[in-house]
Structure 1
Amino acid sequence: MNYLFPNKASTINDDDPRPTLVGQDGEYIMEYSLGNPMFETYGVIDTGSDFTWLQCLPCIRCFNQGDLDYLHTDFNVGLHAVDCTSPLCIQIVNPSVTEVLCDADNCQCKYMMEYSDGSTSAGDVFHTLLRLQTTPGNYVGFPRFIFGCSRETTGDFSTIASGIIGLGRAPASMISQIYDYIDGKFAYCLVPMGQDAVSEMRFGQIAVISGPGIIYTPMIPQILTSDNYHILMEGITVGDVYVPYLEGDKAVLGTILQANFMVSFDLERKKIGFKKMNFSFLEALDPLY
């Protein structure tokens, strides 16, 4: 439970978020909305990082994000700057955030992140209303969602998204901030790149999978310096050949390596479920209804 970000209790209803995913260039992007007026954008989903950010104007150095608009912080009244002395600013200190800084002039909370490939994002921290799609044209809202407005990026980022959606376990991740509403449950099925089918994220009770062919494995306590999702991997079967895995635990990351699987995370029961999918996405989802 996340006491800094209280939300409504989880219920089984039509309000469970289920935004669609788009796969391109080896990454999957998800639509979400921020602020007032509602600003719609797309971010790359990443279970290996713990902070959500998007590029904002005014910007010192921004990468090309194609046809997507940039969020202008001067013209969205629904954005609220986070004070660097507030618990919300302190909360974003986690392994994925390199530094939390203060602006000496106005005490604006700032962040600086660096990824494993050397790419960086730096900017200001805000909180606002987050909206996630439930059904086409309908959304559920989460108040006081904290995120980063990137003013300067370096390195290699997707040109079909405005930033990163952090789905890790740290307190400032999107999952942690909406934890109570979704009861610690989310799932995704990543359709392989190039297929004419739509992937989908699922949050809440609709993320629970059942039926034949499902394998659940317990999560193990994360390494002290990591907020990733870890399971114990014993081996890999390639055709009829079993290859033992001798490296111990393995982080579960949202990449194309999980394509053709429904992956369900249940953080309340500390387990992760896998279901092999060998057909179209809509057919694969039948057991969920």
Structure 2
Amino acid sequence: MEATQYLRIAVVLLSLIIFSRLSFRASKSKGVSIKLIPIDSRESPLYQPNLTHHERVERRVNITLAKAKLMTFGDDKLLTAPDRQYIFYIAYMMIGHPVHSVYLVVDTGSGLSWTQCEPCINCFQQNYAIYNSQASSSYHRVNCDHPLCNYNEPSSVFQCVNGDCVYSQTYGDAPSPSRPTKGYLSSESFHFIYRNFEVEEFTVLFGCSNDNVNFYFGNQPSNKISGILGLDLDPTSLVSQLHETIGGVFSYCIVPYDQNYPFDVHPHILRFGDDAQLPEGNIPTTPFISFVRRSLYYLDLIDISVGNYRLYLPPGSFDATLGHGFIIDS
């Protein structure tokens, strides 16, 4: 039987706050943060300064239509290839010793975080130096005995090769699949902003990817994106690994589409733990539901309205215990 663990989500003005349990305020967590860059920020690696407001809105519509064609289902997960045009939020991360900066696509629908890693077998284009694992004094490969290297499980992305835990991770299939990113499960120091702009380090398991094919954001000469930041409920995700520190809580700003809002938006903050606080007052919330052996954020969606018209879809259309369910995925 699939056990359920209830989570909380709060959509507050323009913020998305995800809680792993109702007792967050009683937990011993603390706040850390990461710089988060919306696609339309001037600091975005994918910023297009010449687009008009109408063109930016039209791009959103085209993204939705194109993404619907690529969505497929498998192993109880909704999968879609991470095309560069689907990217909305990019995290600016600092890793290693000496510190190396990377730009990672924020993905609440995947677990393992990874970045391109020298020495490369096959790396896509990025216009700054690729992270060199051999140059970092805090880098270590993870062996097959590590509890998160579940290579014996049928659905695992990991394998054991010469004592090292290696992975092959894909993000979609037909009609245009993202071929696997491959590399070594590794540990490294990740640097976060703490109170008073101090920097705090955490040792995090991540993917040192040295073989990457068909990631479309890598086809651009000016590309700065080097990988993906996984924030789902999988044990390998950043949220799960830092659970004792952040209490399973993170939040980020949802960029508005209002006609009067300036579209050259400034970067936001991806907040973890105590940094993600609910405003006072009557805040509408809806429960998340998680399932054993599923790592996505499920919502108990009942129905959909278009404008003032409710569709009255058949009861259970989005029941995750009966089918694929309804998830939130950045």
Alignment of 1:2-151 (within 5 A): 10-11=28-29, 16-24=31-39, 25-27=85-87, 28-65=89-126, 67-90=127-150, 98=157, 100-104=158-162, 107-117=163-173, 118-119=177-178, 120-134=180-194, 138-143=198-203, 145-151=204-210
Greater CA drift, 176-185 or 134-143: 134-143
Percent identity over paired residues: 28
Q: What is the deviation of 1:245?
A: 4.7
Kept in 1, the 8 Å contact 2:166–2:185? The answer is yes
Aligned to 2:329: 253
1:152-203 per-residue CA deviation (whole Å, 9 max, x = no partner) reads: 1122343331101110101110000001111111111121584423332111
1:5-48 per-residue CA deviation (whole Å, 9 max, x = no partner) reads: xxxx8345xxx122221122442111122221122211111010
TM-score by length of 1: 0.73
Q: What is the deviation of 1:89?
A: 2.5
AA paired with 1:242? R
| 2:302 maps to 1:234 | yes
Quickly say closer, same or farther: Cα 1:121–1:234, change in 2 above 3 A: same
For 1:26 and 1:136, the matched residues in 2 are separated by 34
Quickly say closer, same or farther: Cα 1:157–1:173, change in 2 above 3 A: farther
Kept in 2, the 8 Å contact 1:166–1:174? The answer is yes
Q: What is the deviation of 1:135?
A: 6.2
**Runs ≥4 in structure 1, deviation > 6 angstroms?**
91-94
AA paired with 2:192? L
Quickly say closer, same or farther: Cα 1:75–1:179, change in 2 above 3 A: same
AA paired with 1:121? T
Quickly say closer, same or farther: Cα 1:91–1:211, change in 2 above 3 A: farther
* Structure 2: gaps of 5 or more residues: 1-26, 40-84, 218-222, 258-262, 319-324
Higher strand share: 1
Q: What is the deviation of 1:126?
A: 1.0
Aligned length: 236
Quickly say closer, same or farther: Cα 1:137–1:206, change in 2 above 3 A: closer
| 2:209 maps to 1:153 | no
Q: What is the deviation of 1:242?
A: 2.4
Q: What is the deviation of 1:218?
A: 1.3
Aligned to 2:284: 215
For 2:228 and 2:191, the matched residues in 1 are separated by 16
Higher helix share: 2
Kept in 2, the 8 Å contact 1:51–1:92? The answer is no
Quickly say closer, same or farther: Cα 1:169–1:11, change in 2 above 3 A: closer
Kept in 2, the 8 Å contact 1:236–1:245? The answer is yes
Kept in 1, the 8 Å contact 2:148–2:235? The answer is no
Aligned to 2:68: none
Alignment match of 1:184 (pick from 245, 248, 252): 248
Quickly say closer, same or farther: Cα 1:64–1:201, change in 2 above 3 A: same
Q: What is the deviation of 1:225?
A: 4.9
Aligned to 2:235: 171
SS at match of 1:235: coil
For 1:245 and 1:214, the matched residues in 2 are separated by 27
Quickly say closer, same or farther: Cα 1:92–1:59, change in 2 above 3 A: farther
Kept in 1, the 8 Å contact 2:114–2:208? The answer is yes
